[in-house]
Amino acid sequence: MLKRDVLLEVRTENIPARFVLSAEAQLKKYAAELLAAACLPCEAIEAYGTYKRLVLYISGVPARTEERVGKAYGPAARLLKDAGGNFTPQAAGFARARGTTPDKLGVETVPNKGEVLVFSAKVPGRAAVKALAEIFPKVISRLQFPKNMVWETTRFRFARPIRGVLALYGDKPVTFEIAGIKSGRLTVGLSAKGSRQVKVAAAEKYFKALEHASVIVQDAQRLDAMRRELARLSKRMRLEVREDEELLEENLYLAEYPVCVVAGYSQDFLKLPHELVQLVMKKQLKFFTVTDQAGKLQPYFVGVRDGVSKGQRNVEEGFRNVLEARLRDAVFFYTRDLAVPLAAFRAKLSSVTFQEKLGNMADKTARVEKLTAWLCARCGAPVNKEEAASAAGCVYADLTSSVVREFTELQGVMGYYYAKNAGLGERTARAAGEFYLPLSAKSPLPSSMEGALVSLAGKLDTLACDFSLGLMPTGSEDPHALRRQALGAVRIVLENKLPLDLKAAVAEAFSLLPPPSRPRAGEALLDFLWQRAEAVFSDAGCRFDEIKAARGFFLSGGDLRDCRARILGLNALRADPDFAAIAAAFKRAKNILREAKAPLSGAPDEAVFAQDEERALYGDIKRLSGRLKAHADNRDYAAGLRELLSIKVSLDSFFEKVMVMAEDPEVRGNRLNLMKSLVNIFGSLADLSQLQ
């Protein structure tokens, strides 16, 4: 059967860039569902988008839908006939409504309904054009956007007013009407060139037709064009145009034919913090910054315009004027902030609410200072306590500055510059400026131990605050980014190899909060931190059961570094075939103790041993206990676990020849104590019962 390609284009007024990707995904999803329901197969479905149009392109669609068997379900099967063997009125009515007679009805079992009457009939195929005329309006109507508009008499809702619809099956138009617009075969070219009308002869010719009208419809082609342009400009200037991925994506949906324009600006603006200059360019103007090979900001930028036209110099001048106007505003804010003492910024924190039940930002600052001092005393690493204390005292001060009120993304970053302006040393200022790091699972940590501990204090305080009020993340909801805060805390501890008791640190964080706190909030937070640690260990290549084998040690001792050593020790020995047997024996001993449910007195009494196998196993346990403790003290769990392999012979012999649950109560109790001793020495290294 002949197959053709299918096209749907919805032209609109300017759609916000952030709406387009979601709309593309929805187009593909709903098209696939509705095509399947209509029994209209296809080879591929693609969706594209610009700020002016959303496009659905379906490849390899046959001329007719497939023939299928349609089923209609009716009343319960028991209502087919009455006691006299005659068709009931219910059966007759159901058959009549379907244009048939009761004797043509069948019986089928339907979930949640049981046996019901059913009428089956072949539904012949129909022209694909007719099916698509019903499918396309449904696809468009199902699209959901963060915000919608109503603009015409049918009160159809869409992201922006629809101005045209193009729908084709091969070279045949697919005719329908939506939002007062009739579909056809006309579209328009680039708006910057007058939006001239383009008549599309067939779906297969659509992309070329629009390319001739200066519109690159396919996202990947537009992105590739932008990347090539940026690379060309970098080579021409012998500088680096920073290819910010977020900025690339945003510009991708702000232009249908992206053209990069390079321009310069006054070097005077380079006196501003480079982060501030970059943020003005990126967030306010969607411009790319330019640096030298060492990453130092240069007085140039690259903007993206839609299409090529005369007056390119005018475009450059316009871009430059709007940038310099924004940078002059930034200079004004920054200059005003530099005239304010750091202490004055901090004093204003008492008027900034942190959380209604937990006070203001001045209260939060005081808690971070106290928790920082506690961490410095117990982190087990060299740290300058005075520098850490100074940094902790000013980490939130920049929140009251003019720049951060205008550019909230720069909180913390501006703290570095204001601390330097106040005369604090480079290390102290850097620790304050890196307070919010890390910002993601892979982003850098604070560069100093002082900065790491101040950042950790802030994260633990925020986590304790929310958990104390029961504001834990649920499902995909995490409005306060607690998962990121917890992951950051875990990374700081692990990547700095801190032998820190996080259980005690969590308890300290809760002790600094005003009462009352939710019951068991500390336990919930500790478990929440462990969940983030599990992700870190898993990313490092550890198996899930190895990670579970260390969980109990964290919940009881709070030492992530110690847990990592246990996990890595297990990972190192998993390949040894004897280790699997040892782990199985541990599980067996643990199960015996659990099923016995008997009170145990402690160590076994050697005088009660009745068999040589008991004595041999207990001798090995006593021999190993001291050596395993030494390995544990040195955190050499791989060596400790390897020591366990030496007990395999006596352990196998014991389980082969000794009945633990002996009839004699004294012998049975003594053997259970022996099992307890075995479980204790095994369990001092890892919970081997978790291994699979």
Specify the pLDDT at position 426: 96
Peptide bond into 62 cis (omega under 30): no
Specify the pLDDT at position 311: 67
- pLDDT bin (cut points 50, 70, 90) of residue 629 is confident
Minimum mean pLDDT among 93-97, 471-475, 523-527, 555-559: which range?
Answer: 471-475
Specify the pLDDT at position 113: 82
Fill in the DSSP letter of residue 111.
T
Q: Which helix (H) or strand (E) holds 178?
A: strand 177-178
Residue 123 has pLDDT above 80, yes or no: no
Residue 644 has pLDDT above 90, yes or no: no
Tokens of 156: 């159809």
**Structural class in CATH, domain 574-690:** mainly alpha
The backbone torsions φ and ψ at residue 321, rounded to the nearest 5 degrees and listed phi first, read -65, -45
Detail the DSSP E strand segments found in 183-274.
Answer: 186-188, 197-199, 240-241, 258-264
Fill in the DSSP letter of residue 184.
B
What's the average model confidence in pLDDT over 541-550?
Answer: 94
CA-based torsion, 206, 208, 213, 214: positive or negative: positive
Specify the pLDDT at position 435: 97
Q: Which residue has the higher pLDDT, 66 or 390?
A: 390
What's the average model confidence in pLDDT over 285-307?
Answer: 95
What's the average model confidence in pLDDT over 310-338?
Answer: 92
Peptide bond into 16 cis (omega under 30): no
Domain 344-540 sits in CATH at 1.10.3210
Tell me the pLDDT of the chain averaged across its residues: 93
Query: Which residue carries 């379907």 as its tokens?
Result: 98
SS (H, E, C) 645-662: HHHHHHHHHHHHHCCCCC
Crossing angle of helices 413-421 and 426-433, in 10° steps, is 150
Q: Is 12 helix (H, G, I), strand (E, B) or coil?
A: strand
Residue 471 has pLDDT above 70, yes or no: yes
Fill in the DSSP letter of residue 300.
E
Q: Which residue has the higher pLDDT, 611 or 112?
A: 611
What's the average model confidence in pLDDT over 572-587?
Answer: 87
Per-residue model confidence as pLDDT tens digits over 652-685: 999 999 999 999 989 999 999 999 999 888 888 9
Specify the pLDDT at position 290: 97
- pLDDT bin (cut points 50, 70, 90) of residue 401 is very high
Specify the pLDDT at position 423: 95
Give the C-alpha separation, 431 to 418, whole Å. 12
Residue 8 has pLDDT above 70, yes or no: yes
Per-residue model confidence as pLDDT tens digits over 365-396: 999 999 999 999 999 999 999 999 999 999 99
Specify the pLDDT at position 381: 93
- pLDDT bin (cut points 50, 70, 90) of residue 551 is very high
Give the C-alpha separation, 72 to 121, whole Å. 9
Give the C-alpha separation, 359 to 353, whole Å. 6
Percentage of residues in the chain having pLDDT higher than 90: 75
- pLDDT bin (cut points 50, 70, 90) of residue 575 is confident
Minimum mean pLDDT among 10-19, 161-170, 468-477: which range?
Answer: 468-477
Q: Which helix (H) or strand (E) holds 416?
A: helix 413-421
Contacts (Cβ under 8 Å, ≥6 apart) of 564: 494, 537, 550
Residue 271 has pLDDT above 70, yes or no: yes
What's the average model confidence in pLDDT over 59-76?
Answer: 89
Specify the pLDDT at position 573: 87
The neighbouring-strand residues paired with 73 are 118
Q: Of 24, 22, 23, 14, which Cα lies nearest the Cα of 46? A: 24
Give the C-alpha separation, 483 to 307, whole Å. 43
Contacts (Cβ under 8 Å, ≥6 apart) of 653: 613, 616, 617
CA-based torsion, 629, 630, 636, 640: positive or negative: negative
Residue 689 has pLDDT above 80, yes or no: yes
Q: Which residue has the higher pLDDT, 474 or 300?
A: 300
Contacts (Cβ under 8 Å, ≥6 apart) of 388: 372, 373, 376, 431, 450, 453, 454
Specify the pLDDT at position 570: 92
Per-residue model confidence as pLDDT tens digits over 480-492: 899 999 999 999 9
- pLDDT bin (cut points 50, 70, 90) of residue 309 is low
Give the C-alpha separation, 573 to 213, whole Å. 65
Crossing angle of helices 449-468 and 482-495, in 10° steps, is 140
What's the average model confidence in pLDDT over 347-356?
Answer: 94
Query: Which residue carries 């929440």 as its tokens?
Result: 528
Give the C-alpha separation, 439 to 454, whole Å. 15
Is the pTM higher than 0.85? The answer reads: no
Query: Which residue carries 């328009």 as its tokens?
Result: 188
Per-residue model confidence as pLDDT tens digits over 160-177: 999 999 999 999 999 999
Give the C-alpha separation, 537 to 524, whole Å. 20
Give the C-alpha separation, 465 to 469, whole Å. 7
What's the average model confidence in pLDDT over 219-242?
Answer: 95
Residue 517 has pLDDT above 80, yes or no: no
Radius of gyration of the chain (CA): 36
Residue 583 has pLDDT above 70, yes or no: yes
What's the average model confidence in pLDDT over 236-258?
Answer: 94
Q: Is 655 exposed, middle or buried (0-12, 13-18, 19+ CB in 10 A)?
A: middle
Specify the pLDDT at position 480: 87
Specify the pLDDT at position 633: 86
Specify the pLDDT at position 178: 97
- 162-169 and 172-173 strand pairing: antiparallel
Specify the pLDDT at position 1: 64
Peptide bond into 438 cis (omega under 30): yes
Q: Is 43 helix (H, G, I), strand (E, B) or coil?
A: coil
Give the C-alpha separation, 404 to 412, whole Å. 9
